[in-house]
Amino acid sequence: MKPRVAFFDFTGCEGCQLEVLNFNLEIVDLIGAVDIVEFREASSDHSDDYDIAFIEGSQTTDRDVERVQKIREKAKILVALGACSCTGGVNALKNRFSMEENLKVVYGDSAKLYSTIPTRPTSAYVKVDVHLHGCPPNRNEVISLVKCLLTGKKFEQCHNPVCVECKLAENICAFERGEFCLGPITRGGCNAVCVTGGRKCWGCRALVDEPNVNSEKEILKKYGLTMDDMMMQFKLFNGALEVSK
């Protein structure tokens, strides 16, 4: 029997689901190997019977927390799909303000009809078996994870910082272009796609294991920057990690 896979969306832009749909031929292979029983962006099917649950987005209401806990009870494997679920992502920018203020800005006079809670990673509420980082995650990594789940192999996260892939791509360093790049401390696995595309790394794939802090300090010093400058940038995608401590 094929594993039953469900995709669930919480608060996010739904770009992670879209990235999965953009697999084109790979999604056909994927569908052949698993039964996708819930995937709102692609199908009206619904099921409460699944083995693997992908969680896109962050939980921003108490009702969301209850929902993700129920999903956890049913799923054998739960995957946090993308930055919003893995770290809170850009949704956590709201944690800089009071929840009352956020509701008022968004809903105006109707604010009292709604509720919200500070953004935290999904792992703050339920056990997460695998984190697929990125905004959105790298499609090859998603496929690699599904293959590992099907074959029982251990899924290995990328343990290099983005800089390794960036140098392999022979990019001109963003610091040399006068930009602030988070590549030295960010988990790779995205092939430094942003730098290769002419931009810089914003740290959407979270902190790499054992970041080389001394090397980072040297780079910052060379360009007249500080660790505080770096943390300000890093909080764009990772601000919720402070709340979850």
What are the residues binding ligand SF4 (CB under 6 A)? 12-16, 56-57, 82-84, 89-90, 134-136, 162-163, 166-167, 171, 173-175, 181, 183-184, 186, 190, 192-195, 201-202, 204-205
Q: How far is the CB of 189 from ligand SF4 (least distance, A)?
A: 8
Nearer CB in complex with ligand SF4: 12/121: 12
Q: What string of DSSP letters covers 145-161?
A: HHHHHHHTPPP----SB
Tell me the residue nearest to ligand SF4 as measured from the CB: 183
Q: How far is the CB of 90 from ligand SF4 (least distance, A)?
A: 6
C-beta closer to ligand SF4: residue 2 or 96: 96
DSSP state letter for 94:
G
Nearer Cβ to ligand SF4, position 36 or 190? Answer: 190
Instruction: Pick the closer one to ligand SF4 by CB: 57 or 121.
Output: 57
In angstroms, the CA 6 to CA 51 distance is 8
CB neighbours of 104 closer than 8 A, spacing ≥ 6? 111
Distance of CA 60 to the CA centre of its chain: 15
| Least Cβ distance, residue 49 to ligand SF4 (angstroms) | 25
Distances (CA, A) of 125 to 42, 224, 232: 27, 40, 26
d(CA 92, CA 206): 13
- Cβ contacts of residue 85 below 8 Å, gap of 6+? 10, 12, 16, 55, 56, 57, 58, 121, 122
Minimum Å gap between C-beta 42 and ligand SF4 is: 15
Closer CB to ligand SF4, residue 111 or residue 193? Answer: 193
**Closest CB 165 distance from ligand SF4, rounded Å:** 8
Please check whether residue 239 is in contact with residue 92, taking contact to mean a CB–CB distance below 8 angstroms. Answer: yes
